[in-house]
Amino acid sequence: MREKYVTSKQIAEKLGISLRQAQRMALEGGWEYKETKKSGAREKRFMVSLLPLPIRVKVDPPSRSMDLILREPKSLLELEPFNRKIADARFTVLELFKQHRENFRTQKETLEYFIQHWSEIASPELLAVIPKMCPRTLFYWKKKYAKGGLTALSTGHGVHRKGATKLPKSYQNLVLKAYMDQNQRSVRSIYSHIIHKAALEMVGSHENGLSETKNKLKKELTLRIVTYFIKQQTSAGLLLKARGNKGEREKVRPYLTRSRESLSSNEVWVSDGHDANTFIMDEYGNITRPVVVVWMDERSRMVMGYAVDITENTDLVITSLCNAVEKYGIPQTLYMDNGKAYMNKRTSEKFQSENRIKVYAMLGCSVMNARPHNAREKSVERFWGTLDNGFSKFLPGYAGKDILSKPEETQRAVKMRHILTLEEYRKALDAFIFKYNTDSHSGIGNKTPYEVWKQNIQEIRHANPEMLAQLRLEFITELRTVMAGGRVRVRNREYVAPSLLYYVGERVEVALDPENLSISYIFLEGKLLTKAEELVAADFNDIHSIQTKEAYKQLSRMQKDKKKLHKKIKEIQSQASALLLEERTKVLEENNHKGKRKNQEEGGEFVIDLFNC
């Protein structure tokens, strides 16, 4: 084991004395030291193991692990009165034996005399506590006193030991977390890990003395202690210590069950996002897990709308809401959590921002937020279990809920890229949700969600096309200039629409649908102009591609329309000029008539300048 050294300055700091007092104490005590050079100056370093015991304990106290495992002795004041009396009596016996040892030549002679004449040696008070004495008991007390002091002589009677453990508190949480881990470590491996960690804390990472320290610790902290500690834990206690308050609350504590009979369809829609337990490939070939956002009718448990992407974001929430509103109308209340994807400047009125449409307010829906970190608040959470068991487990890239439930062939399928793409996953999910909405469920009286929704719907509040267009504007919106040929370029994609030929050079807003990037929505000053399709490059030799022909046809139509429009403008201008000339002629005639009458009255002449009129 590596020796430790301390300086006079360190001793003075530990003892709370001056440096001069520490140096005088070392000189008077004759402490052994060795001189070392530090920055050109000589320094005395004292070996800790050779220091006097009172000073050694203060300068180099036992490590935390050793303190907890070996348990430092307590004072007599902390013991019960009868235990204190027994400890005092046993200490008196040891002192009496020590006194009689001086009168005899050998320890054997002393022991024989002490046992035979015990009733004569002991006082009546001592005999009342210890009536008999034997050699084995005497040597046992002597050993305990040498090891633990006066308090070690007390008995364990009267101490409440129910649930008590010798396992140190610093290692209890470590044992529970390791035992509750998904890897299912054995108790023996956990025990070995604890012993190794305790030994490292005591002697450091040096090999010298490490095995010796481990053997010493194994005598104090046995495998049986760790096993007993784990067995005495309840399932609720294990959950609380391994997964915290949230795990214990979700698995153990009771929760409120609410009836939905009083609700009508489309009264409350609840939403949530979930990382699906399957691997897919995105459009760039990267392996990832898709994120699914659904909106579910609280009354019928019917999935009203959904959307899939590789991350949970506001665009995904708005897309799924648009899909639901287009099919089944607008709900009265939206019930969701407090995540950033749901509550932000684009969706909620709680956040102030200028020139930004509030999606929930525009739909006229009230908003309810679930309590944070409470999975049982929203009934849609149960749907994710159905999605995992009825859909994800049948896919080639199923990742499992945890390490234990992950299939062996998943890693092979991911490596060989035998998994679904994002677009294939969307199609498969669409088929599953259709099956879910049309299958009978025991929780709603063996009816299908669609039947329950149809029976309890009172009024369907449809969204007008302008409102849906405004919702589309809340997608990924970017400002772009319309290029020649009626094209706009966004995110390395080009979109074309014939009607954009009228707006070449104009700055427009381009909104992309995250679920369908082949279509974009073009807005000008907040109003929807048209839908633009993604421009697909034609073959090198195909100079007469369909898109090119359509563009030329549209251009010729535009030119014809332009000529017709010019003719109409000329006709309107000629009609307007003729009407203007007639009005001016009437005004001139009236003025000329009034002037002649006035001139006749005054006896003069009246001339009107037509050019200045």
Crossing angle of helices 187-203 and 223-231, in 10° steps, is 120
Q: Are 292 and 429 in contact (CB under 8 A)?
A: yes
What's the whole-number mean pLDDT along residues 290-313? 90
Q: β-strand 268-275 against 291-297: which pairing, if any?
A: antiparallel
Q: Which residue has the higher pLDDT, 103 or 552?
A: 103
Q: β-strand 291-297 against 287-288: which pairing, if any?
A: unpaired
Q: Which residue has the higher pLDDT, 186 or 370?
A: 186
Is the pLDDT at 26 greater than 80? The verdict is: yes
CA distance 291 to 218: 49
Crossing angle of helices 169-179 and 187-203, in 10° steps, is 140
Q: What is the DSSP letter of 297?
A: E
Which residues lie closer than 8 Å to 87 by C-beta, 6 or more apart? 76, 79, 150, 151, 153, 154
Range with the poorest average pLDDT among 108-117, 138-147, 212-221, 302-311? 212-221
DSSP 201-212: HHHTT-STTHHH
* pLDDT, position 160: 46
What would the pLDDT profile of 271-281 be if each residue is shown by its tens digit?
888 899 899 98
Q: Are 176 and 242 in contact (CB under 8 A)?
A: yes
Helix, strand, coil percentages (3-state) for the chain, rounded to 5, are 50, 15, 35
What's the whole-number mean pLDDT along residues 11-24? 81
Is the pLDDT at 166 greater than 70? The verdict is: yes
Q: Are 480 and 488 in contact (CB under 8 A)?
A: yes
What would the pLDDT profile of 432-443 be if each residue is shown by its tens digit?
999 999 988 888
What's the whole-number mean pLDDT along residues 414-435? 89
* pLDDT, position 71: 41
What's the whole-number mean pLDDT along residues 517-528? 79
Is the pLDDT at 613 greater than 50? The verdict is: no
Q: Which residue has the higher pLDDT, 395 or 181?
A: 395
* pLDDT, position 4: 75
Tokens encoding 531 = 């839908």
From the list 521, 501, 486, 246, the residue with the least C-alpha distance to 374 is 246
Q: Which residue has the higher pLDDT, 371 or 375?
A: 371
* pLDDT, position 243: 58
Give the up-direction half-sphere exposure of residue 334: CA atoms within 13 A in the CB hemisphere. 29
What's the whole-number mean pLDDT along residues 9-30? 81
What mean pLDDT value characterizes the chain?
77
What's the whole-number mean pLDDT along residues 339-346? 68
* pLDDT, position 519: 81
Q: Which residue has the higher pLDDT, 502 or 358?
A: 502
* pLDDT, position 248: 52
* pLDDT, position 238: 62
* pLDDT, position 369: 78
Is the pLDDT at 352 greater than 50? The verdict is: no
From the list 139, 8, 164, 152, the residue with the least C-alpha distance to 87 is 152
What's the whole-number mean pLDDT along residues 326-336? 88
Q: Which residue has the higher pLDDT, 170 or 196?
A: 196
Percent of the chain with pLDDT over 90: 6
CA distance 331 to 268: 6
* pLDDT, position 353: 43
Q: Are 51 and 32 in contact (CB under 8 A)?
A: no
pLDDT band, residue 552 (cuts 50/70/90): low
Is the pLDDT at 500 greater than 50? The verdict is: yes
* pLDDT, position 73: 42
Domains, the chain, with CATH or none? 5-59 (no CATH), 80-153 (no CATH), 169-252 (no CATH), 268-456 (3.30.420.10), 476-534 (2.30.30)
CA-CA distances (angstroms) from residue 528 to 442, 454, 473, 508, 523? 45, 33, 9, 10, 4
* pLDDT, position 355: 36
What would the pLDDT profile of 380-407 be if each residue is shown by its tens digit?
888 888 898 889 888 888 888 776 677 7
The pair phi, psi for residue 390, each rounded to 5°, is -95, -10
What would the pLDDT profile of 194-223 be if each residue is shown by its tens digit?
888 888 877 765 556 677 888 888 887 888
pLDDT band, residue 596 (cuts 50/70/90): low
pLDDT band, residue 372 (cuts 50/70/90): low
Q: Which residues lie across from 494 on neighbouring strands?
A: 489
